[in-house]
Amino acid sequence: MTLSKLPNRIFIKLLLGFWLCSSLIIAIVGLLPLLQQNHDRAPLPPHLANMLVRVADRVSIRLEDGPQAINTSRFKRLTHIRDRNDKPVRFYIADHQGRVINTHKVSRGLRRFMLMADEAERPMTHQFKRELIFGPYEFDVKGEKYSIYGRLADHHPRPWFFFFAENKLLTLSLAIILSGLLCGLLAWHLGKPLRTLKLSADALAAGDLTSRVDKATTKRKDEIGQLAQAFNGMANSVENMVQSQQRLISDISHELRTPLTRLQLALALARKKGQKSAETERIGYEAEQLEQMIAELLELSRVKLNIHDTKHLVSLNETLSQVLDDADFESSQQGKQLLIDIDDAIAMPTSPRPLARAIENLLRNAIRYAEHQINITAQFSENEVIITIADDGPGIENEQDLKAIFDPFYRPQTARERESGGWGLGLAITKAAIDAHQGQIIAENIQPHGLKVTIKLLS
């Protein structure tokens, strides 16, 4: 039989878990009446049997004078016996018709016991709440049959299961709680590794390519352990492919710089020899654009390859000081106002260079498209730092572009012109830098017009 035809191990765990849980509860609840019955109708102990025989011998002598003789005070003294614990024992004499002849006060418990003993057809004991009744012992006097019963009128401790047998609602509640605990334990056993898998998958989807399922989960012998091993194998492959892709981009960019440098050198020599023309100027312009694009590709590749570098606790103002000074100068040169509101106390673990580059790209975009004013603020909110950059420019007309603008080489329709739209790498670099800090970046239009970009970073 192949492994594929064997029962699923998770199926076996679920089946056995719920089956054993329900069987255990049913068995416990079902055994309580049986335990109670076996205890209540216990065989007659020897010391109680001997006590009945002794009293029966005494009673036999008195009954020879007739049944009326057992009501005398002398008879009561003869049957005044104490048990081993020095507790008084009271005896009841019944005739062949089951009538108690030595007293008119017969308790309900004794009546019940007489019926139980008659049904059992043997001497026995029965533990009531406040009395222990035992018997009967049968004897003959002048051809008449008599039975004698004993009663210990005292509170005797009862086994623990009597409490549950007499309190059925409480027993049912405890059974439900116990089954819930057992099922909860099974659910935890199966759910914990699944939660670990989910967290690892979420981390991988968020860009953490080093995320793996822990060893405790991969060492399980069931399908969850096999799934965890498969997930780690997939994560290794994804990480290798992404890193290979980034290295390829980086290597290609480096290799492109060599012929580009030669092209620029050839242009410089041509200009020096007086071979300057509109065509050579165009070639020079395109070479400069190509140089800038290669530089941005290298920056994007560098940020993504170093996404898990060690972070350092640095003041946000210190990290952005040069970027803010440059942005303030650039905005003032264009007749625009940059408003800065960043608390000096804000400090968090960062990679200063990628974060500064990310904020610089956002500020340059905001300054480029703003009409009069640009705002940058940073504040604490619970366990994160929120940085917002807003401008009063035209915003982005198409709402679908608000998420896509952070993709490499993507440019909104309104920014297709080479002079204003670039190559769509600046915001991709920004998002890569924010991802490296396990943060979030969101763009949204503001009313009446303008664009606001919000960055959330763990503090």
| Angle, alpha carbons 365-355-421 (nearest 5°) | 20
For residues 220 and 193, what is the distance between their CA atoms, to the nearest angstrom? 9
* Region class of 135: left (phi > 0), else alpha (psi between -120 and 50), else beta: left
For residues 283 and 291, what is the distance between their CA atoms, to the nearest angstrom? 12
For residues 308 and 408, what is the distance between their CA atoms, to the nearest angstrom? 20
Buried-exposed string 329-367: b where 16+ CB fall within 10 A, e elsewhere? eebeeeebebeeebeeebbbebbeebbbbbbbbbbbbbb
Closest CA to 48 of 159, 131, 124: 124
The secondary element (H helix, E strand) that includes residue 23 is helix 9-40
Q: Is the Cβ–Cβ distance between 36 and 161 less than 8 Å?
A: yes
Closest CA to 136 of 154, 159, 119, 157: 119
- Among candidate residues 80, 156, 189, 254, the one labeled active-site is 254
Q: How far is CA 193 from the centre of its chain?
A: 10
DSSP conformational letter for 148 = E
Neighbouring CB atoms inside 10 A of 182's CB total 17
For residues 93 and 398, what is the distance between their CA atoms, to the nearest angstrom? 104
| 254 noted as active-site residue | yes
Token representation of residue 172 = 């049912």
Residues classed as catalytic: 254
